[in-house]
A and B are shown apart, each in its own frame.
Chain A
Amino acid sequence: MSGTPLLAARDVHAVREGDHGPVAVLDGVDFALAGGTLAEVVGPSGSGKTTFLLALARLLPGVTGELALEGAYADGIAPQTWRTRVALLPQRPALVPGTVADNLRLPWTLKVRHGEQPPADDALVDALAGVGLADVAPGRDVSRLSVGQIARIALLRVMLARPRVLLLDEPDASLDDASAAEVARLTGAFVAEGGGVVRVSHVRADATATARYRLAGGRIEALHA
């Protein structure tokens, strides 16, 4: 890989309290993600895939090691600002009470985006149509959404906020094939625009992945496609 990677991690360690004392979930992980890449990370259940994504998003306590975004070290970037650029979509995305529009505009209610303009109503309608949710009005209450609709709206919310890197934790685990295809199309478009995606998968292999890694025993290794 030449040039500065979009996202780089070096010698990342993460320890979690296990039943028989501390367990090194990440044990010196080195990882680099170029722009325009969709990296798929596989590994046995409990191997630390979610922990890896949390560490990259700086959402895990007690992580050591170096992280850099486009060459800028994480130390010099406020954690909240980092998370707007390296955005994690958790495995069980939770929407806040309110309407679909409230949720899609939620990032712009946060202090970290103070002064930025949230998307207008028309943009929300177009964005919903773009993920196969043309029949969902922005004014619909989120309590009236299906699990699959919630997953897509949570993904849309993250993407509308225009991060540089998307960290997806089993984004299609609760989706039918058609919805999963919409998600794959959406992330594909994000990658085509130069963004980077790290995607943890369990249910379906992503045919559009341009790099594959395996996480096991606290280490990550590149797999040949």
Chain B
Amino acid sequence: MPDITPGGAIPIGAWELAIATVFVLVAGGLSLRMGLRLERDLAIATVRTYLQLFALGFVLRWVFVNQTWPIVLALLGVMVVAAARVVLKRAGNAPPGVFGSSVVAMALTGFTVTFAVTALIVRVPVWYEARYVLPIAGMVIGNSMTGIALAVERLFADLDARSAEMLGLAALGAGVWECARPSVRTALTAGLVPTINSMAAAGVVFIPGMMTGQILAGADPLEATKYQIVVMLMIAAATSIGAIASVMLMYRKRFTEDGVYLEKGYREPAA
């Protein structure tokens, strides 16, 4: 019978980590055998998982002990900037200014939702309590990043696909919003549907990640349920508000001041 930590979790050692790694090696072997050419990506991803998560573990352990509000806020800033870079990378041919808009949208939703949860729901004793603020912010910003990236990518692809329709609308006197509105709607649907689906399937199709983690760490399932509901609702709110804010900040960047859609050939180099 393994030891149990004071928190109720069963500790994991090097041997247990090695067993988990063996399963990835099996997957890599299958890829090699079937000629899928995924083994290199799988290996790199596994090494990155080890390095990034151990680095995170050490950073969190240090921050939990030495927490001050500037350190906590600086870490949140790093998370937002890193997330905005991911959005930029996925958005492909996005116009200049998308990085700034992503930072604004994620900082707005990430900070607001995170501190609303920690202050009003969890009621942490210190407002910058890193043990609560950082994991919650990670979930909020991470999910909102995925929603924003999906929405932004779809926005610019749909605008391009509708350029002939938009030219016809503009020729009839339509303004920028009237031309772009169908694409904005399509983009926001693309950004929000995964979150809505995930809420609908939670507890029926799968046990959500945070709840699983808490149960494995020895928490009472009902307590874990309440936390999970809070987390899912705040993720839904952050993703929705983040995607709406970023799409509304960005769609105009593809039009001139006179309301003309910038076709390829008239655009500044991509962001």
Contact = CB atoms under 8 A, between A and B. Distances in A.
Interface of A: 16-17, 57-62, 79-81, 83-84, 87-90, 92-96, 106-107, 110-113, 154, 157-158, 161
Nearest to A96: B165
Given A59-B260, A61-B260, A61-B262, A84 B172 contact: yes
Given A16-B265, A62-B266, A84 B260 contact: no
Given A79-B258, A93-B168, A96-B165, A107 B173 contact: yes
Nearest to A80: B173
Central interface residue in B174, B175, B266, by most chain A CB within 10 Å: B174
Contacts of A161: 172-173
Nearest to A82: B173
A111 B179 CA distance: 11
Interface in B171-199: 171-175, 178
14 contacts: A58-B260, A59-B170, A59-B260, A60-B260, A79-B260, A83-B173, A84-B173, A89-B171, A90-B164, A93-B168, A96-B169, A110-B169, A112-B173, A112-B174
Central interface residue in A60, A84, A89, A94, by most chain B CB within 10 Å: A94
A79 B266 CA distance: 19
Interface in B108-155: none
Contacts of A81: 173
A90 B168 contact: yes
Interface in B218-271: 256, 258-260, 262, 265-266
Contacts of B168: 90, 93-95, 154
A70 to B, nearest CB: 17
B256 A61 contact: yes
A112 B177 CA distance: 12
Given A16-B266, A58-B260, A89-B171, 6 more contacts: A59-B171, A61-B258, A90-B167, A96-B165, A110-B175, A158-B172
A17 to B, nearest CB: 5
Central interface residue in B168, B259, B265, by most chain A CB within 10 Å: B168
Contacts of A58: 258, 260
Contacts of B170: 59, 83
Contacts of B262: 61
A95 B172 CA distance: 12
Given A17-B266, A59-B260, A111-B178, A90 B171 contact: yes
Nearest to A81: B173
Contacts of B260: 58-61, 79
A110 B259 contact: no
Contact of B266 (A61, A111, A157): A61
B165 A80 contact: no
B172 A110 contact: yes
Contacts of B172: 83-84, 87, 106-107, 110, 157-158, 161
A59 B259 CA distance: 8
B186 to A, nearest CB: 12
B264 to A, nearest CB: 9
Nearest to A85: B173
B173 A113 contact: yes
A110 B178 contact: yes
B171 A80 contact: no
Nearest to B166: A94
B266 A83 contact: no
Contacts of B167: 59, 90, 94
Contacts of B265: 16-17
Central interface residue in B169, B170, B173, B266, by most chain A CB within 10 Å: B173
Interface string B190-218: 00000000000000000000000000000
Nearest to B257: A79
- Which 3 pairs show the lowest CB-CB distances between chains A and B? A112-B173, A94-B165, A88-B171
A87 B171 contact: yes
B174 A80 contact: yes
Contacts of A60: 260
B143 to A, nearest CB: 32
Nearest to B162: A94
Given A94-B165, A110-B178, A111-B178, A57 B171 contact: yes
Contacts of A107: 172-173
Contacts of B259: 79-80
